[in-house]
Amino acid sequence: MDKVVVQSFVSLLLVGDRLGCSKMVKQYVQESFSIKEVYEKLIKSALYEIGILWEQNKISVADEHLATSISEAILNELYTDVVSEYRENKQVVLACVDGETHQVGLKMVADVFEMNGWDAKYLGSSVPASELIKIIDKFQPEIVGISFSIYFHFDTLKKMVYSIRQDFPNKKILIGGQGFLHGGIEELVGKDANIVYCPTLDSLDEYIKSL
């Protein structure tokens, strides 16, 4: 999908045209694009663009919230086509860092795990480290995934990773999100072989299949 297509989707999101957005997504799915491709090349690209517009103060926080809400609703519409009938006996727990309200990207990550037969425990936005650790202890997942979209939350992310490591020294931790466009990957990944950064849904899919 080229930039013109993405920009058209951005425009629909910003005017709050949920029906138009839904029709556009379903059109591309019907035209043989996989759901993962539509997530990556259309919805994710559009939301990144909207995030940049918000950072540049070109749109309001209300505009950004509207776009996010519509995108999440579309993901929910597609959910029945996401879950694989084949199931792995594996679990992943997914959360946004404490204070982070942008959860659509994390929902896409959960769906890619579900496409691969995993049981995704999707906790959503703004999860305190102490509560995340309780859930990890409860479910004992193979992987813990953490997302952050705003670089301001990077220190919170580091503290969350440190907290997990105190109780689960060898747990695989998956990190990702738009916040990494501003840096910070090496600071986390370079210090711990069990921390994995997946910049795209394709790289995530490849990583899941390698396990």
If asked whether residues 131 and 178 sit together in one domain, one would say: yes
Q: Torsion angle, CA of 73/78/107/191, rounded to 10 degrees?
A: -150
User: Are residues 197 and 105 in contact, defined by beta-carbon separation less than 8 angstroms?
Assistant: no
Kindly tell me if the per-residue pLDDT of 210 is higher than 80.
yes
Q: What is the mean pLDDT of the chain?
A: 94
In order, the DSSP letters of 123-178 are --S-B-HHHHHHHHHHH--SEEEEE--SGGGHHHHHHHHHHHHHH-TT-EEEEE-G
Q: How far apart are CA 144 and CA 20, in angstroms?
A: 35
pLDDT, residue 49, reads 95
Residue 178: CB partners within 8 Å, gap ≥ 6?
A: 47, 48, 51, 102, 105, 149, 150
If asked whether residues 159 and 135 sit together in one domain, one would say: yes
If asked whether residues 34 and 97 sit together in one domain, one would say: no
If asked whether residues 154 and 65 sit together in one domain, one would say: no
Which residue, 57, 82, 107, sits at the end of a domain?
Answer: 82
Q: Is 86 left (phi over 0), alpha (psi -120 to 50) or beta?
A: beta
The domain containing residue 120 runs over which residues?
Answer: 91-210
Of 100, 166, 91, 157, which is closest to residue 133 (Cα–Cα)?
Answer: 166
If asked whether residues 45 and 95 sit together in one domain, one would say: no
The total of structural domains in the chain comes to 2
Q: Is 53 helix (H, G, I), strand (E, B) or coil?
A: helix
Compute the residue count for the chain.
Answer: 211
Q: What is the pLDDT of residues 51-107, one digit of tens each?
A: 999 989 999 999 999 999 999 999 999 998 898 888 999 999 999 999 998 899 999
Task: Find the CATH number of the domain harbouring 117.
Answer: 3.40.50.280
Q: What is the pLDDT of residues 101-144, one digit of tens each?
A: 889 999 999 999 999 999 999 999 999 999 999 999 999 999 99
pLDDT bracket for residue 163 (50, 70, 90) = very high
If asked whether residues 170 and 140 sit together in one domain, one would say: yes
Tokens at 49, concatenated = 């663009």
Q: Largest Cα–Cα distance in the chain? A: 48
If asked whether residues 37 and 100 sit together in one domain, one would say: no
